[in-house]
Structure 1
Amino acid sequence: MNRSVIDPDAPVGAVARAAGVGISALYRRYPSKEALLATLCLDGLRQFVAVAGSAAESEDPWEAFVAFLRGIVEADVHSLTVYLAGRFTPTPEHRELARRAGTLADGILERAQRAGAVRGDVTGTDLPMIYEQLAAIRLGDPGRVRDLRRRYLDIHLAGLRATAAAASALPAAAPTPAEIGARWHSAS
């Protein structure tokens, strides 16, 4: 199924049409719309973990950090998982994958900070905000979107370098883990 056209508010019939299957085929595989959304989120979390795990293997801390951010932005997994936040009840598997994703992302960031490559006033909760800013770029065709996301990621990366911290301090505190996590609680 094409993740770029997922609309969690779409009727099941529209989801089936977008997937190129009948409604009954969709319900055979997913007993409810919530189950479909939960599965899509699991897929996104698995991809996030795979990208982070691969990036963490780089010997150079800055290159690991850059590969991680580029991989997450390129895969567009963050926009999918955040878009689905609060629309289904997370399972233990969701929680474990989210924990693992956070541990990997924090490890990559902290390693780059210890190496003096990334500014020390950046926190692990700053990164999801960057992914979301870049995921919001949806101008033109997919190629143009990819190019623009790369452009703005490079601008972000310049500001994340430790040398940028010497030029200016960040004006406000990063979001708290509670603020980031609140999105996962159902609005209903």
Structure 2
Amino acid sequence: MKKTDPGRLRAGGRFGRQAEAERNDLLVLNAARAVFAEQGANAPVADIAALAGVGIGTLYRRYGSKEQLLQHLCAIGIAQTIADLKDAVQAEGTGWEALARYMASAVDARAGAFAGLAGTFSLPEEVSAANDRARTLAEELLRRGHDDGTVRGDVTTLDITHIVEMFSRCPRRTEQDDHARRRMLTLTLDGLSTARTELPGPQPDWAEYQQSWDAPDRPS
């Protein structure tokens, strides 16, 4: 019996098609994160497909709806956030240094890209549970900075979340956009260190923030 050449199988057979599907999926996810971050919930799926360089059919074969795509993006996004927070908690250096490195990484990954979509789609239970885990890790990371006196005491984890969300939505169409974002983020991170002006207004409330993610009631 004639044996199949493994190289040919990988290049043009099942393995080749699988690799192409995985590559297309990554392109779609990166494009979706960017488009949703900059355009919000009403972003056309066609814009995502165009940025990814794939056809609409390819996108819908993988994700049956825009909501499924958003749910999947949230799931992989919070998993990456948890991994980055664990690394930051265990990192050497001062609490501010660990926090600043985590936030820079989170902004680069657009970890807060979906804040503007809060309440427009339902979150799977496992994503909600992962969000709670991420919050616990973020509190541990921030407490380290408070305990060693390198992070100002009036900074909360929700302040950190809001900063990441705002910078995740910054346009990145040109090199100048990216340069400006990095400069503004550096100034903001510097403002988290001790001996700064008192923050204005009351501390943000987690209950109000969480409520914004509640999906609207749907007609039966």
Which TM class, normalised by the smaller chain length?
A: 0.7 to 0.9
Cα distance change of structure 1 residues 14 and 65 upon mapping to structure 2, 3 Å threshold: closer
- Pick aligned residue for 1:35 from 55, 59, 68: 68
Residue in 2 aligned with 1:100? Answer: 133
Matches within 5 A, 1:24-173: 24-60=57-93, 61-78=95-112, 80-138=113-171, 141=174, 143-164=175-196, 168-173=197-202
1:118 Cα deviation from its structure 2 partner: 0.4
* Cα deviation code 1:22-57 (max 9, x no counterpart): 444333322222111111121221222222222222
The structure 1 segments of at least 4 consecutive aligned residues displaced by more than 3 Å after TM superposition are 10-25
Cα distance change of structure 1 residues 94 and 112 upon mapping to structure 2, 3 Å threshold: same
Cα distance change of structure 1 residues 20 and 136 upon mapping to structure 2, 3 Å threshold: closer
Give TM-score, length-normalised by structure 1.
0.85
Alpha-carbon RMSD:
2.1
> What CA distance in whole angstroms lies between the structure 1 residues aligned with 2:130 and 2:159?
19
Amino acid corresponding to residue 107 of structure 2 in structure 1: V
Q: State the structure with more CA Rg.
A: 2
1:100 Cα deviation from its structure 2 partner: 1.5
> What CA distance in whole angstroms lies between the structure 2 residues aligned with 1:173 and 1:102?
20
Residue in 2 aligned with 1:9? Answer: 42
Residue in 1 aligned with 2:207? Answer: 178
Q: Which runs of 5+ in 2 are unaligned?
A: 1-27
> What CA distance in whole angstroms lies between the structure 1 residues aligned with 2:89 and 2:213?
26
> What CA distance in whole angstroms lies between the structure 2 residues aligned with 1:27 and 1:140?
26
Cα distance change of structure 1 residues 12 and 138 upon mapping to structure 2, 3 Å threshold: closer
Q: Secondary structure at the match of 1:184?
A: coil
> What CA distance in whole angstroms lies between the structure 2 residues aligned with 1:103 and 1:185?
20
Amino acid corresponding to residue 153 of structure 1 in structure 2: L
Percent identity between the aligned chains?
A: 37
**Does structure 1 conserve the Cα–Cα contact (< 8 Å) formed by 2:156 and 2:203?**
yes
Give TM-score, length-normalised by structure 2.
0.74
Out of 32-41 and 110-119, give the one that drifted further: 32-41
> What CA distance in whole angstroms lies between the structure 2 residues aligned with 1:160 and 1:18?
35
Amino acid corresponding to residue 177 of structure 1 in structure 2: W
